[in-house]
Amino acid sequence: MNPRLGVGVFVFNNRGQFILGKRQGSHGSGTWALPGGHLEFGESFEDCGSREVLEETDLTVHNMHYLTATNDVMEAENKHYVTIFVGCHLTDEPKQPQIMEPEKCAEWQWVSLEEVRSDVEAHLAAEQAGTLDDFEGRRMIRSTITKMPPPDAPASEAPPGSVNINSLSVPQLRSLQTRLSSELEHLTTSHTKLRAAQSRFRDCIRSINEGVIGSEKKGTSGKEDILVPLTSSLYVRGKLTDREKVLVDVGTGFYVEKGQTPAKAIAFYEDKVKGLETNLTELEKIVQTKSGQQRLFEDALRQKLLSENAPSSSAAGAGGG
């Protein structure tokens, strides 16, 4: 089963609070989570965040920007998500979030980072004590949100809940290094798939220009004879009967005509190429950030191993003298 890509949105008001919703009837029912959802085909992270917030809360937002990403494997539910976290600010400040999808969300609340951190600590304590059934506080679907920085925190300021990597033990550093490697692998795979999809859209544009419209340079102008692929290596001869309309693949195996002229189809695919380029740029930034973090952990681990081996080496040298 391939990992799914989701987007979680921190919608901040002018008091530094953000929205949490109580989920129901789906994954994580009874827990609290950020607004958000699945990334749709050809959609940027920012567009996905704005769309999900509007669909779920009827709120409009601005200044949508990337924050961080997590790699969440939920073995008990046989689910694996790569979640992109974005932040934004409320456009109509007095407006309150509405329950637009009552089958998915029971209520919305404005909360502070401190409140959420306190709830998560209480939740974990109840879990360790075996009293989770009696726990009356908010149960978070993702405890990672306690590590998010405030919306206007300087780039140099460490996020709440961060730790000094030099204080971690060798096993802890190895564990984090393994997790980062896994995240990078999944992000790189997602990048490859998006790049392949973009290449297919470019091929569609080329096929329309050269095959449907016709190209003097390629010798296809005015010609109706074409080869129709039955498989990747098997073709049959055919004739092009209508150059004015084309069927457009809108994803998940569905095709629509809807008066799609070649010019409109080209515009459709060019828009998809542009949207994917935005996604790819954002994904490359994430990969770059994660790669930098991985190098930091590798350096810290190397220093730890050198420092642990240094005393024994010194002792051996003294004994040999």
Which tens digit of pLDDT belongs to each residue from 3-30?
Answer: 788 899 999 988 888 999 998 876 667 8
Where do the structural domains in the chain lie, given as residue ranges?
4-157, 167-311
pLDDT at 318 over 60: no
pLDDT at 151 over 50: no
DSSP 74-121: EGGGTEEEEEEEEEEEESSTT-----S-TTTEEEEEEE-HHHHHHHHH
60 — phi, psi (to 5°)?
A: -105, 145
DSSP 4-33: EEEEEEEEE-TTS-EEEEEE-SSTTTTSEE
pLDDT in tens, 115-141: 887 777 777 777 777 776 766 677 776
Q: What whole-number distance in Å separates Cα of residue 33 and Cα of residue 144? A: 11
CATH fold match for the domains 4-157 and 167-311 = no
Place of tokens 């003097």: 216
pLDDT at 258 over 90: no
Q: What whole-number distance in Å separates Cα of residue 244 and Cα of residue 6? A: 38
Q: How confident is the model at residue 251 (pLDDT cuts 50, 70, 90)?
A: low
Q: How confident is the model at residue 313 (pLDDT cuts 50, 70, 90)?
A: very low
Name the class of domain 4-157. Answer: alpha beta
- Cβ atoms of residues 42 and 35 within 8 Å: no
Name the class of domain 167-311. Answer: mainly alpha
Which H helix or E strand runs over 249?
A: strand 248-251
> To the nearest whole number, what is the mean pLDDT of the chain?
78
For the segment 193-200, the average pLDDT, to the nearest whole number, is 88
Q: What whole-number distance in Å separates Cα of residue 19 and Cα of residue 251? A: 32
pLDDT confidence of residue 132? 67
In sequence order, the β-bridge partners of residue 228 are 236
pLDDT confidence of residue 126? 73
pLDDT at 81 over 60: yes
Q: What whole-number distance in Å separates Cα of residue 58 and Cα of residue 154? A: 30
Which range has highest mean pLDDT (78-92, 112-126, 245-259)? 78-92
Distances (CA, A) of 151 to 4, 9, 14, 56: 26, 12, 10, 21
Number of H helices, E strands in the chain: 4, 11
Q: What whole-number distance in Å separates Cα of residue 85 and Cα of residue 319? A: 56
Q: How confident is the model at residue 1 (pLDDT cuts 50, 70, 90)?
A: low
